[in-house]
Amino acid sequence: MERKWWHGKTAYQIYPKSFKDSNGDGIGDLRGVIEKLDYLKELGIGIVWLSPIYQSPLADQGYDISDYYRIDPRFGDMNDMDELIREAKKRDIGIVMDLVVNHCSDEHEWFRKACENPDGKYGKYFYIQDWHEGEKLPCNWRSYFGGPVWSKLPGHEDKIYLHVFHKKQPDLNWENPEVRREIYSMINWWLEKGLAGFRIDAIINIKKALPFHDYPADRDDGLCDIDNMLEEARGVTDFLDEMARECFDKYNAFTAGEVFNEKESELPRFIGENGCFSTMFDFNEAILGQDKKGWYAHKKITPDEYKKACFESQKKTENVGFLCNIIENHDEPRGVSRYLPEGVLDGPYAIQAKKLLGGLNFMLRGLPFLYQGQEIGMENTRCESINQIDDISARDQYQVALNAGLSPEEAIKIINLYSRDNARTPFQWDDNLNAGFTSGTPWLPVNKNYKNINLKAERDDPDSVWNFYRDLIQLRKNPKYQETIVYGKTEPYLINQKNLMAYFRRGLNQNQDGAKQDILILGNFQDQEQDIILPGAIIQNILLNNYHDYHIKNGVLHAKPWQFMILELI
């Protein structure tokens, strides 16, 4: 595999609105990110992805862009952006921005011009169709945020436009070469400014299965999950290869695709040696237990299901390329709340369990991609009423739960499990007012647990989750182990042992001592002890342990509850 500059890095996603507020308006901003660059350097981060900070009405928190060439004044200005790129580079940190081009905002100039003249140039930038009251819609796809994907074109009683997300996010028509040219020149404009690359938003949606047509309804609203269309659509990689040729390849840019519903046969074209992306996110664990009926029908997954999903992803990409390994992001609940069994976070092993989950994911083959707050073990928040929820996706799912017969009390419990707000509460810097995030009123309330979970408390505690992540990142950077950790093959170990997630990282080359280097990662994923028969190899080093001690006798590790260890074997 050709070695790339980003392979040995650790990446970090910042949701700027909730990261650090520098001017007391309660909204995180670019100057707040600049203030924290030394923190990110201290943590050992090499790549930072910023969720959108472009001009936007924030209907979908910035994933609805009204000007791709301007920074939204709430987040700062272009001087701040240029300073951030410059200062990050001084710290050997590459800045990656969010590329949101399946759709723009309905307040974008292109859409405004399309409304003025639907039959003109800009009308062709979108999917606009004639339609008359009472007529059947061109297709019965359900928006990701609920309801039909068609809405009336503002100012026109006899026209509708497509939006697979919110109605304030009209889909751009990628079949139109003029649209693609506009997007490519915007991408290159940003890359010229020194960006290290892009995370590419919802990109599988840019290729529709045309002409528009229905699929069987899956709820009594007569609509169907848009996955039906994605399953049928062909040719998305033609657009993506063109984008890579016209943009990314010219700048050796790092690109991470947000790809759901990929076809396994497409993987090499996505992340292979000549793929259109450098890498893409592993969502195999995030989609586990999901039900198309809605969040209310989602199932909590078990440790063994989590393990199986991780190893499946490792297997299908081991000879193709690298995935980005995550336990959470700005769209998902906090990983420790989602993947650890009920009650663990309120029990005596919460810290060990958070470290176990983090370590098991971090040490997988691929690019570890931390989400802001994950490194201090931030947890889901709790709301008593839907009125306290900002997330448009959660608000839709609340209604879906009520329609399915749940009471408001039952429905809000579901929302608390999966709302995207869980990941969007302000970063907990310290135990001062508003967790040190803002001197003003935070746009979203700080999680009530900030007095116990905050960076200040954890930085000085050698046994904290934060120091554990820092040790993981240092280990990945350690020249003695980097070859094995970055490129070594993942080989599951004792795969059938319940509540045990264990795997080798098989060294590809000999280490400095001339011996084949193998690393064994062990996680006792339960509240009880369990015995783990160790492989016959000799333990050269205990590289990491989430306890101060361990008990190995006659080749058996008597693992404590939630014990996580990394062993160097020869």
Residues forming the active site = 201, 258
Name the amino acid, one letter, at 446: V
331 binds ligand TEU (CB under 6 A): yes
Q: Which does 201 bind (CB under 5 to 8 A by kind): ligand TEU, Ca ion, none?
A: ligand TEU
CB under 5 A: which stretch of 19-27, 119-127, 241-249, 273-281 binds Ca ion? 19-27
Are 285 and 314 contacting, i.e. CB atoms less than 8 angstroms apart? Answer: no
Cβ burial 365-403 (10 Å sphere, 16+ → b, else e): bbbbbbbbbbbbbbbbbebeebeebbbbbbbbbbebbee
Tell which positions 36-55 bind ligand TEU, by CB under 6 A: none
Residue nearest to Ca ion (CB): 29
Are 522 and 557 contacting, i.e. CB atoms less than 8 angstroms apart? Answer: yes
User: Nearer to ligand TEU by C-beta: 105 or 563?
Assistant: 105
CB under 5 A: which stretch of 2-10, 24-32, 353-361, 555-563 binds Ca ion? 24-32
Which residues make Cβ contacts (< 8 Å) with residue 167, sequence separation at least 6? Answer: 106, 143, 147, 151
Q: Pull the structure tokens for residue 457.
A: 């408390």
User: Nearer to Ca ion by C-beta: 75 or 481?
Assistant: 75
- For residue 94, the cross-strand partners are 47
Member of 56, 278, 393, 449 binding ligand TEU (CB under 6 A): 393
Q: What SS3 class is residue 185?
A: helix
| Separation in Å, CA 3 to CA 66, 111, 507 | 38, 42, 16
CB under 5 A: which stretch of 15-23, 129-137, 252-260, 361-369 binds Ca ion? 15-23
Tell which positions 465-494 bind Ca ion, by CB under 5 A: none
Are 423 and 329 contacting, i.e. CB atoms less than 8 angstroms apart? Answer: yes
Please report where in the chains the tokens 């707050």 appear, as a residue: 373
Q: Which does 487 bind (CB under 5 to 8 A by kind): Ca ion, ligand TEU, none?
A: none
Tell which positions 187-216 bind ligand TEU, by CB under 6 A: 201-202
Binding string to Ca ion for residues 131 to 160, with x set by CB under 5 A, is what?
A: ------------------------------
Quote the least distance from Cβ 256 to ligand TEU, whole Å: 12
Member of 12, 54, 63, 466 binding ligand TEU (CB under 6 A): 63
User: Nearer to ligand TEU by C-beta: 329 or 490?
Assistant: 329
Quote the least distance from Cβ 303 to ligand TEU, whole Å: 24
User: Nearer to ligand TEU by C-beta: 260 or 493?
Assistant: 260
Name the amino acid, one letter, at 371: Y
Name the amino acid, one letter, at 438: T
C-alpha to C-alpha distance for 299 and 295, rounded to whole angstroms:
9
Which residues make Cβ contacts (< 8 Å) with residue 566, sequence separation at least 6? Answer: 359, 363, 475, 519, 520, 521, 522, 542, 543, 544, 545
Member of 11, 27, 243, 567 binding Ca ion (CB under 5 A): 27
Spatial CA neighbour of 66 closest among 56, 77, 76, 75: 56
Residue nearest to ligand TEU (CB): 63
Binding string to ligand TEU for residues 335 to 374, with x set by CB under 6 A, is what?
A: ----------------------------------------
How many residues bind Ca ion (CB under 5 A)? The answer is 5
Tell which positions 239-258 bind ligand TEU, by CB under 6 A: 258
Q: Which does 165 bind (CB under 5 to 8 A by kind): ligand TEU, Ca ion, none?
A: ligand TEU
- For residue 324, the cross-strand partners are 281, 367
Q: Which does 27 bind (CB under 5 to 8 A by kind): Ca ion, ligand TEU, none?
A: Ca ion
Quote the least distance from Cβ 345 to ligand TEU, whole Å: 23
User: Nearer to ligand TEU by C-beta: 63 or 525?
Assistant: 63
Report the Cα 407 to chain-centroid distance in Å.
31
Q: Pull the structure tokens for residue 127.
A: 């999917």
Q: Pull the structure tokens for residue 392.
A: 């448009």
Q: Which does 60 bind (CB under 5 to 8 A by kind): Ca ion, ligand TEU, none?
A: ligand TEU
29 binds Ca ion (CB under 5 A): yes
Task: Tell the burial category of 305 from Cβ atoms under 10 Å away from its Cβ (0-12, 13-18, 19+).
Answer: middle
Quote the least distance from Cβ 85 to ligand TEU, whole Å: 22
Tell which positions 128-167 bind ligand TEU, by CB under 6 A: 144, 165
Measure CA of the first residue to CA of the last residue in the chain; give whole Å. 24
Member of 33, 99, 100, 423 binding ligand TEU (CB under 6 A): 100
CB under 5 A: which stretch of 22-30, 43-51, 80-88, 391-399 binds Ca ion? 22-30
Q: Which does 295 bind (CB under 5 to 8 A by kind): Ca ion, ligand TEU, none?
A: none
User: Nearer to ligand TEU by C-beta: 166 or 560?
Assistant: 166
Q: Which does 21 bind (CB under 5 to 8 A by kind): Ca ion, ligand TEU, none?
A: Ca ion
Spatial CA neighbour of 108 closest among 72, 146, 159, 64: 64
80 binds Ca ion (CB under 5 A): no
Are 55 and 67 contacting, i.e. CB atoms less than 8 angstroms apart? Answer: yes
Half-sphere exposure for 501 (CA within 13 Å, toward CB): 27
Checking phi first, is residue 24 left (phi over 0); if not, alpha (psi -120 to 50) or beta?
A: left
User: Nearer to ligand TEU by C-beta: 56 or 449?
Assistant: 56
How many residues bind ligand TEU (CB under 6 A)? The answer is 12
Spatial CA neighbour of 266 closest among 310, 236, 307, 294: 236
How many beta carbons lie within 10 A of that of residue 189, not counting itself? 12
> In the complex, which residues of this chain contact Ca ion (CB under 5 A)?
21, 23, 25, 27, 29
| Binding residues vs ligand TEU (CB under 6 A) | 60, 63, 100, 144, 165, 201-202, 258, 260, 330-331, 393
